[in-house]
């Protein structure tokens, strides 16, 4: 896979490969990057444009030594300006960082990122390779068929009988059922009664393949913003808008 940059762009130490999927499975872009500790802002911006192009077009797995030891991945904060710029790139491209342990002494330098939740799993450190002082990061890419039929079901609240649901739950002697129990012991009892009433009052429906792939938190408002971001990126890629204008848009 080639990611074209302008003639005046700074070169980056990155390699991009497209892994062709089998019949019924999508392709995956795998990127390997090394960012030197003294890399300048222009080279950083060139790398971020490559990441944006790869993430926008395909499912992406990105790995490498990015040399941002000051980033705290628990709360996505950083002290250094360049590290904060990298976090902006991660957020702009909806990337998830899945490395959880330090890879060089106390610093987490070697990262694994993906734009698809659940694609990368079994992440673990495997010791150093030769004389290197970095830990090797081992992980699996959990590939799934694109056209697999969805087995997910959802509750059809539009046709639910909430009056009957309230009536059924109101008949239960809760004081007696939960007497002498704490919150932890009471929860499974309450949950069992609720699910029994739910089965009688709320029908279920099978989700379509398109909606099944969509995360539960991806509502209509967020979908609109994602669409707007992709349109802005397409405009920049086609040379219709400047990079600065695209950055302000997203």
Assess whether pLDDT exceeds 50 at residue 61. yes
Q: Give a yes or no: residue 174 inside a domain.
A: yes
Q: Give a yes or no: residue 6 inside a domain.
A: no
Specify the 3-state DSSP secondary structure of 237.
helix
Residues 131 and 35 placed together within one structural domain of the fold: yes
Crossing angle of the two packed helices 183-201 and 162-170, in degrees rounded to 10: 140
Into how many domains does the chain fold?
2
Mean pLDDT of the chain: 80
Q: Give a yes or no: residue 236 inside a domain.
A: no
Residues 41 and 94 placed together within one structural domain of the fold: yes
Residue 2's pLDDT band, with cuts at 50, 70 and 90, is low
Residues 76 and 137 placed together within one structural domain of the fold: yes
How far apart (Å, rounded) are the C-alpha atoms in residues 234 and 61? 21
Q: Give a yes or no: residue 45 inside a domain.
A: yes
Assess whether pLDDT exceeds 50 at residue 7. no
Higher pLDDT, 234 or 19: 19
Residue 139's pLDDT band, with cuts at 50, 70 and 90, is confident
Most confident of 22-31, 56-65, 173-182, 207-216: 173-182
Q: Give a yes or no: residue 162 inside a domain.
A: yes
Give the residue from 148, 165, 187 where a domain finishes.
148
Identify the pLDDT of residue 13.
87
Residues 85 and 139 placed together within one structural domain of the fold: yes
CA dihedral 216, 222, 224, 230 (to 10 degrees): -100
Percentage with pLDDT > 90 across the chain: 12
* Domain enclosing residue 78, as ranges: 13-148
| C-alpha separations of 176 from 47, 97, 187, 195, 196 in Å | 64, 48, 14, 19, 18
Q: Give a yes or no: residue 51 inside a domain.
A: yes
Identify the pLDDT of residue 178.
92
What average pLDDT does range 153-166 have in this prediction?
Answer: 84
Q: Give a yes or no: residue 54 inside a domain.
A: yes
How far apart (Å, rounded) are the C-alpha atoms in residues 24 and 42? 40
Most confident of 14-28, 35-49, 151-165: 35-49
Residue 144's pLDDT band, with cuts at 50, 70 and 90, is low
Given a contact cutoff of 8 angstroms between Cβ atoms, the answer to whether 126 and 138 are in contact is: yes
In this structure, the number of other CB atoms found within 10 A of the CB of residue 26 comes to: 16
Assess whether pLDDT exceeds 60 at residue 147. no
What average pLDDT does range 9-30 have in this prediction?
Answer: 79
How far apart (Å, rounded) are the C-alpha atoms in residues 5 and 180? 68
Q: Where are the beta strands (DSSP E) in the chain?
A: 13-19, 28-34, 59-65, 96-97, 110-114, 120-128, 135-141, 153-155, 204-206
Given a contact cutoff of 8 angstroms between Cβ atoms, the answer to whether 157 and 201 are in contact is: no
Identify the pLDDT of residue 241.
76
CATH value at residue 38: 3.60.10.10
Give the residue from 107, 133, 148 where a domain finishes.
148
Q: Give a yes or no: residue 110 inside a domain.
A: yes
How far apart (Å, rounded) are the C-alpha atoms in residues 180 and 18? 60
φ/ψ region of 239 (left if φ > 0, alpha if ψ in -120 to 50, else beta) reads left
């Amino acid at each position: 896979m080639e990611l074209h940059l302008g003639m005046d762009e700074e070169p980056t130490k990155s390699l991009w490969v497209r892994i062709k999927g089998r019949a019924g499975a999508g392709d995956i872009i795998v990127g390997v990057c090394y960012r030197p500790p003294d890399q300048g802002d222009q080279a950083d911006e060139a790398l971020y444009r490559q990441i944006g192009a790869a993430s926008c077009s395909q499912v992406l797995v990105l790995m490498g030594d990015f040399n941002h030891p000051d980033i705290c991945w628990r709360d996505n904060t950083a002290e250094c300006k360049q590290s904060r710029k990298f976090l902006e790139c991660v957020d702009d491209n909806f990337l998830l960082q899945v490395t959880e342990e330090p890879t060089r002494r106390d610093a987490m330098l070697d990262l694994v990122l993906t734009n698809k939740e659940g694609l990368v799993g079994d992440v673990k450190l495997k010791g150093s390779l030769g004389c290197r002082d970095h830990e090797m990061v081992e992980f699996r890419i959990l590939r799934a068929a694109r056209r697999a039929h969805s087995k997910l079901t959802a509750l059809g609240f539009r046709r639910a009988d909430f009056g009957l649901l309230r009536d059924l739950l109101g008949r239960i002697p809760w004081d007696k059922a939960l007497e002498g129990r704490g919150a932890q012991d009471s929860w499974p009892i309450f949950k069992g009664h609720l699910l029994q009433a739910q089965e009688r009052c709320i029908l279920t429906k099978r989700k379509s393949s398109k909606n099944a792939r969509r995360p539960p938190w991806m509502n209509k408002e967020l979908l609109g913003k994602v669409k707007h971001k992709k349109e802005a990126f397409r405009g920049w890629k086609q040379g219709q808008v400047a990079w600065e204008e695209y950055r302000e848009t997203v």
